[in-house]
Amino acid sequence: MVDEEDVGGPPVGAVKSKKKSGKKSGGKSSGSGSSGSSSSSNPQIKPKCNCEQLQLVDCHLETKELWDKFNELGTEMIITKTGRRMFPTVRVTFSGAQSRVRYYVLLDVVPVDSKRYRYAYHRSSWLVAGKADPPAPARLYTHPDSPFTPDQLRKQVISFEKVKLTNNEMDKQGQIVLNSMHRYQPRVHLVRRMEGDTTRPIVDLEREQFRTYVFPETVFTAVTAYQNQLITKLKIDSNPFAKGFRDSSRLSDFDR
Amino acid sequence: MVDEEDVGGPPVGAVKSKKKSGKKSGGKSSGSGSSGSSSSSNPQIKPKCNCEQLQLVDCHLETKELWDKFNELGTEMIITKTGRRMFPTVRVTFSGAQSRVRYYVLLDVVPVDSKRYRYAYHRSSWLVAGKADPPAPARLYTHPDSPFTPDQLRKQVISFEKVKLTNNEMDKQGQIVLNSMHRYQPRVHLVRRMEGDTTRPIVDLEREQFRTYVFPETVFTAVTAYQNQLITKLKIDSNPFAKGFRDSSRLSDFDR
DNA sequence: CGGTTCTCACCTAGGTGTTAAACT
DNA sequence: AGTTTAACACCTAGGTGAGAACCG
């Protein structure tokens, strides 16, 4: 029915080679570049900055090693009607913050491309399954501890563990609404406001002094059920809440 | 050893009569008065206001009925080294907030008098057991959702469920430090700042525009173990986390 | 058949009073 | 003897993937 074509280079970076890619993958992946990939990629996933002072502020992705592991397999994130946390969690630290201003840290999730995907179990690979469904307008999730003083921004790990992904377009709890079987890129935004500025919420980035950081290793496919069994296994082995499904626990018949 | 005298009128209001006291006890107990009681009472427990605009803002104690039940028996709050929540929780609502300002809501706990108490089990009553131990400086606990917009202040129930009481004088987590076997009065402070004002923490109320609300029914004695068994029973029956100790659960032998 | 939803057992995380032991 | 501590069983609250049921 839909135009279905095999994906040449695995879209999410399925296991292809043990070699690190050309660019030194140990270095920073944020800020200045690394949008990379194909012509169909969304310009939204490029870093951006409309404020000189923010050029001095670096953003670092914590638990990058874990993100890399998932990314090598092609990260999947469950979305549900009631909302599901992300795992791994987006955790960042900042350096270079100035004094006498306030910082807001935000997360949003934008489409990587305009495609719909499906997973070929027998081949263990993702296929393009047609054009994207109409996307819900991207919601900005402001980190609940915002605003941060420069001191806080320098010292704290800012963790988006509470943010939830949903496929419920009618959601009214401020969760991030995504389409299943579509690929997404999380983005971190740093907004700078004068300390005199009010607590009014941030609704439009373009009306703020901001800088956008993009970590390509956090790309994922939204799913309602895991497709790649290796992803399931890695989640179970690394997410404490899934401990009950670990291999050692599954030897239950033998144990008892 | 210490001068030990019986307490004439039960200090925390032990069960004396089923009659409601003279003043209509259904009415508001905050704001303007009701410091009441004896000559030894701490002047800190009187309401206070250094800001005209705040005279218009009313504060209402939620779950007053529960507080009253405890107060009739003589409320006790456990303090531990690691910190213990208060139960009941101090929950308040405000009305009359103006726009274009920001409100901070704070809690502190001040000594009611300069006495140390002990509990006479055989008589089921509190006795004065000498002079107070030197108090730790009262810590201001700023509600974590502060600052509030006038809108938020009008609509939200502000709950201090997360605040913890400790007897650890070396505490560095910002918990409220108390002496065991001493009597205390929680106070709620409302601080008004211009929306242009910064997020710097509030360290000295006197340097702010503020109003202090006092709810006498929230007086309690800090203890490391419950003294009055009726208090224990009421806690078990009303705190969801103590459900495991409810009578119906204790019929276990019969049930199984 | 592919995709979604719901319920479930099994976890994490942490708030309760109890109890026995330790402290002073 | 009065008070404090620490380990414990028992809760609340909620995050996991499995698997069956359901949908289209």
Please report, for the domain that includes residue A221, its CATH number.
Answer: 2.60.40.820
Nearest to B102 among A149, A195, A199 (CB): A199
**Long-range contacts made by residues A158-163, C-beta under 8 angstroms, separation at least 24?**
A158/A91, A158/A92, A158/A93, A158/A94, A158/A105, A159/A62, A159/A89, A159/A90, A159/A91, A160/A86, A160/A89, A160/A90, A160/A91, A160/A107, A161/A85, A161/A89, A161/A91, A162/A85, A163/A85, A163/A86, A163/A90, A163/A107
Q: Is the pLDDT confidence value at B169 over 60?
A: yes
Whether the per-residue pLDDT at A26 is higher than 80: the answer is no
pLDDT for position A229: 96
Tens digit of each residue's pLDDT (9 = 90 or more) over B211-252: 999 999 999 999 999 999 999 999 999 999 999 999 865 544
Examine residue A242 and state whether it is found in any structural domain, yes or no. Answer: no
Report if residue A240 sits inside a domain.
no
**B10 pLDDT tier (thresholds 50, 70, 90):** very low
- Rounded to whole angstroms, the Cα distance separating A98 from A95 reads 9
> Helix, strand, coil % (nearest 5) of chain B?
20, 30, 50
Q: Which residue in chain A is spatially nearest to B99 when comparing CA positions? A: A198
Q: Is residue B242 part of a domain?
A: no
Examine the pLDDT at B12 and tell me if it is beyond 50. no
Cα A96 vs. chain centroid, distance in angstroms? 23
Identify the closest residue of chain B to A144 by CA–CA distance: B145
CA of A189 to C1' of C11 (A): 33
pLDDT greater than 90 at residue B41? no
**Measured CA A203 to C1' D24 distance, in angstroms:** 37
Give yes or no for A39 touching B (CB within 8 A): no
The answer to whether the CB of A77 falls within 8 A of the CB of A84 is: yes
- The domain total for chain B is 1
- The pLDDT tens digits of the residues spanning B121-137 come to 989 999 999 999 999 99
pLDDT at A24: 40
State yes or no: pLDDT of A28 exceeds 80: no
Q: Please give, rounded to a whole number of angstroms, the shortest distance from the CA of A203 to a CA of chain B.
A: 17
B 133-162 near A (Cβ less than 8 A): 147, 149
**D18: residue with closest CA to C1':** A245
- Strand C nearby residues, CB < 7 A: A 80-81, 118-119, 129, 167, 180-181, 223-225, 240-241, 243-244, 249, 252; B 78, 84-85, 87, 225-226, 232, 235-236, 239, 241-242, 244-245
Residue contact A198–B195, C-beta within 8 A: yes
Instruction: Give the structural domain span for A35.
Output: 5-12+26-235
pLDDT of residue B75: 98
Q: Which residue has the higher pLDDT, B158 or B41?
A: B158
Residue A73 domain flag: yes
pLDDT at A33: 38
Sheet holding A5-6, edge to edge: A5-6, A125-131, A115-120
pLDDT in tens, B20-38: 333 333 444 544 334 444 4
Supply the mean pLDDT for chain B: 84
pLDDT band (50, 70, 90) for residue A237:
very high
Query: From A198, which residue of chain B is nearest by alpha-carbon distance?
Result: B195
pLDDT at A195 (0 to 100) = 74
Confidence check: pLDDT of A110 > 90: yes
**A36-50, A65-79, B170-184: least confident range:** A36-50
DSSP, collapsed to helix, strand or coil, labels residue A188 as: strand
- pLDDT attached to residue A6: 54
Q: What local confidence, expressed as pLDDT, does residue A16 receive?
A: 40
Q: In the prediction, which pLDDT does B20 show?
A: 36
Contacts of residue A94, defined as CB under 8 A and 6 or more positions apart, other chains included, come to A57, A58, A59, A60, A103, A105, A153, A154, A158, A190
Pairing of strands A101-111, B176-177: unpaired
B195 CB within 8 Å of a chain A CB: yes
What would the pLDDT profile of A183-194 be if each residue is shown by its tens digit? Answer: 999 999 999 998
Q: Which nucleotide is nearest to A242 (CA to C1')?
A: D16
Mind listing the pLDDT tens digit for each residue in B60-102? Answer: 999 999 999 999 999 999 999 999 999 999 999 999 987 788 8
B254: in domain: no
- B204 within some domain: yes
Question: In the A/B pair of chains, how many CB contacts fall below 8 A?
Answer: 19
For A65-109, what is each residue's pLDDT tens digit?
999 999 999 999 999 999 999 999 999 999 998 878 889 999 999
Lowest mean pLDDT among A10-19, A115-124, B74-83: A10-19
* pLDDT at residue B188 greater than cutoff 70: yes
Q: How far is A61 from chain B, CA to nearest CA, in Å?
A: 26
> Are the Cβ atoms of A195 and B199 closer than 8 angstroms?
yes
Confidence of residue A167 (pLDDT cuts 50, 70, 90): very high
A180 touches strand D (CB under 7 A): no
User: Is A253 within a domain?
Assistant: no
In this structure, is residue B141 part of a structural domain? yes
pLDDT interval class at B199 (50, 70, 90): low
**Strand D contacts in B 145-204 (CB under 7 A):** 167, 180-181
At residue A40, the pLDDT reads 62
∠ CA B7-B233-B235, nearest 5°, is: 90
Average pLDDT over residues A236-243: 97
b/e sequence B182-199, b meaning 16+ C-beta within 10 Å: bbbbbbbbbbbbebebeb
Bases along strand D below 7 A from a protein CB: 2-6, 9-20
Which range (A18-32, A97-111, A116-130) has the least confidence?
A18-32
pTM, 2 dp: 0.83
The pair phi, psi for residue A2, each rounded to 5°, is -75, 150
Which pLDDT tens digit goes with each residue over A192-216?
998 777 667 899 999 999 999 999 9
For chain A positions 79-118, those within 8 Å of chain B (CB to CB) are 102
